[in-house]
Amino acid sequence: MIGDRVANWRVMAVMVAGMAALGACPAWSSAETPLKILLADNSYDVAADGTYIQTYRFEFRPTNDAAARREAQQAVSYSPSLEDLTITEAYTQKPDGRRIPVAPSAIHDQLPRGGPDLASFSDQRQKVLVFPDVGGGDTLVYAWRRDVHKPVFPGQFMTSVYMSSNNPWGEMSLTVRAPASLALHTEAHDMAGSVEHDGAAVVYRWSASNPTPQSSNAAAVGPYDRLPRVFVSSFAGYQEFAAAYGGLANQKARVTPAIQALADRLTAGIADRHEQARVIYDWVSVNIRYVAVYLNMGALEPHEADAVIADGYGDCKDHVVLFNALLAARGIAAELVMINLGTHYTLSAPPTFAQLNHAITYLPEFGIYADTTAGTAPFGTLPFEEYGKPVVHAVASGIALRHVPTLAPGQATMELRTDATMDDDGAITGTTTTLAHGPFAVDLRRTAAWAEATGIANAAAAQLRALGTEGSGAFSFEPPNGLLASYAMSGQFQLDARAEIVEGDGFMPPTGLRVLTRPGDLLLGPLSMRKLADTEPTPCFAGRQREDIVLRLPKGRHLIRLPKKVILENSLLDYHSSWEMDGPSLVMHRELVSHPGGQLCIGAERRAAAEAMAVIRHDERRQIALADE
């Protein structure tokens, strides 16, 4: 991955993005919060060749003992091949003013958490500070200096920051000092800034504060799309940025004898070029294990394609390098593409890696974006989270800044059918079958892979618990690495007896071994985020979700009443639900078809989605009750 993932409040200054979540709060709100950030001071002194010295000071206060225990250990990441990191100060300050320093022996230099393959893909390390004698009301302080002696792009500098709204923030500042010869391009949102000349240098400063955290900060898009933020870059635009990264990464996709031999073997007897590309894609997806490493936590340079084959695993950029090299061996052009794998749907004007944390491939001959790291995505299909995103093609010429197309109607469909029977004691047995197509099939294969690794019976029991029901069961499915456009997964289940149901208590008909989202969830946004304001932009997708549940009632019992039908139809969606009796069986049907105008539901579309989701939530919570005939 290319980029940084940051805890809501914690500063994670990293090598390329130089990122720090910063903020301010001289006067606290009356409502007590478990954590108060008092000071976050981040400063860069940049040289003309792109090297720099970064100094950082962070002061924060856990307000109770539980928060103090959680925050008493802090980690600062760095990349030894690119920089030197020195902890210059660290101590616990008690309310009476006493300072208890962090002993040198309590600063541990170690590998970050991760799998055993992590070290071979990133030289990232971290210094872990263990603070002494920490309790609620104490102030924890640490400061460090980072000397970056090898910039990823010589003569270039980038950084980005955002300020979280989860906690109250005190004094916050970001300062960048650079020679006038190194022109910096900046973009700021909701952060006060200034620029001044100091001899041969230019000094940029920004500040912000957030003394009162938001009572509700529910959002469906990422922090770099909405929170107070600053972007700084010496790149004039994405064309220049793309050429620089392409020059670094694309050279690793060389066609060596080993690459040529593998490509020839994989495509032997196949004349169609699209089919050749698909076969190569399938091989990389299935045979090269994906090891997720955040590229800006270490070197951005991928491994040679030959090395990726030898290892049998790689991160996203390694996957792209190998896939592109194999395609080149068959004369098929391919481009490395930088994208955001999270919930960011914008890119800043000054190029940085803040909103770019993943790499995929574009095949211009076929107009196809492909992601071999997904592992469960058929050729020409992407996971939901990659559609409609702005992307940067790492090309030396041509258009660098583009968009992945949004999902077209009919590409993403899913159908669930549960057939169940209730016994006299309230126990329910049945079978659930889920059929998915497109990105839903990607998700369903991921679930099947999880069930394989967990055990089909253990996975079924865990899924039933996650759905709020207790019982047992087992999944059945074809191997998830087939990578066909559609995929099915079934499961048999037995739910524990519930005496209260046969005694007449209300209950919701069980959906059985459901493993994908329900109609209305995902396609219109996250159904579970009840506090998401209808003014908040929300990712929306075109698609269809259908749910059919048949529940055979115990002999001699009937339903007191049937819930009414629900019909919603507007320019954004069509939603229908119905409840009917077919002899002794309840037949419940729900179906949603969504057709948004763009990747984000905003304005009138977002309001329509919010109104529909409120109705759908209520519809899914409706209960039935049994009575004697």
Q: Rounded to two decimals, what is the model's pTM?
A: 0.90
Burial class (CB in 10 A: 0-12, 13-18, 19+), 187: middle
Average pLDDT over every residue of 138-163: 95
217 or 465: which leads in pLDDT: 465
Percent of the chain with pLDDT over 90: 85
Average pLDDT over every residue of 434-462: 97
Average pLDDT over every residue of 455-477: 96
The Cα–Cα gap between 544 and 353 comes to 34
Does residue 591 surpass a pLDDT of 60? yes
The Cα–Cα gap between 44 and 13 comes to 11
pLDDT, tens digit, 9 for 90 and up, residues 284-318: 999 999 987 655 545 688 999 999 999 999 999 99
The number of beta carbons lying within 10 Å of the beta carbon of residue 231 is 24
pLDDT of residue 13: 26
pLDDT of residue 202: 97
Does residue 29 surpass a pLDDT of 70? no
Percent of the chain with pLDDT over 70: 92
Q: Judge whether 616 and 519 are in contact, CB under 8 Å.
A: yes
The Cα–Cα gap between 351 and 356 comes to 10
| Token pair listed for 55 | 């100094």
Does residue 362 surpass a pLDDT of 50? yes
Q: Report the SS3 class of residue 318.
A: helix
170 or 433: which leads in pLDDT: 433
Does residue 121 surpass a pLDDT of 70? no
pLDDT of residue 14: 26
Does residue 584 surpass a pLDDT of 80? yes
Does residue 16 surpass a pLDDT of 80? no
Average pLDDT over every residue of 421-449: 97
Longest Cα–Cα distance in the chain: 92
The Cα–Cα gap between 548 and 537 comes to 31
Average pLDDT over every residue of 36-61: 96
The Cα–Cα gap between 387 and 469 comes to 34
Helix/strand/coil percentages in the chain, nearest 5 = 20, 35, 45
Does residue 178 surpass a pLDDT of 70? yes
CA-to-CA dists, residue 34 to 26, 61, 70, 213, 549, angstroms = 16, 8, 10, 12, 44
Domains annotated for the chain, with CATH where assigned, are: 20-234 (2.60.40.3140), 241-403 (3.10.620.30), 413-628 (2.60.120.1130)
Residue 168: pLDDT band with limits 50, 70, 90 = confident
Q: Which residues contact 116 (CB under 8 A, 6 or more apart)?
A: none
CA 492 vs. chain centroid, Å, equals: 31
Q: Report the SS3 class of residue 444.
A: helix
Does residue 502 surpass a pLDDT of 50? yes
Residue 407: pLDDT band with limits 50, 70, 90 = very high
* DSSP code of residue 12: -
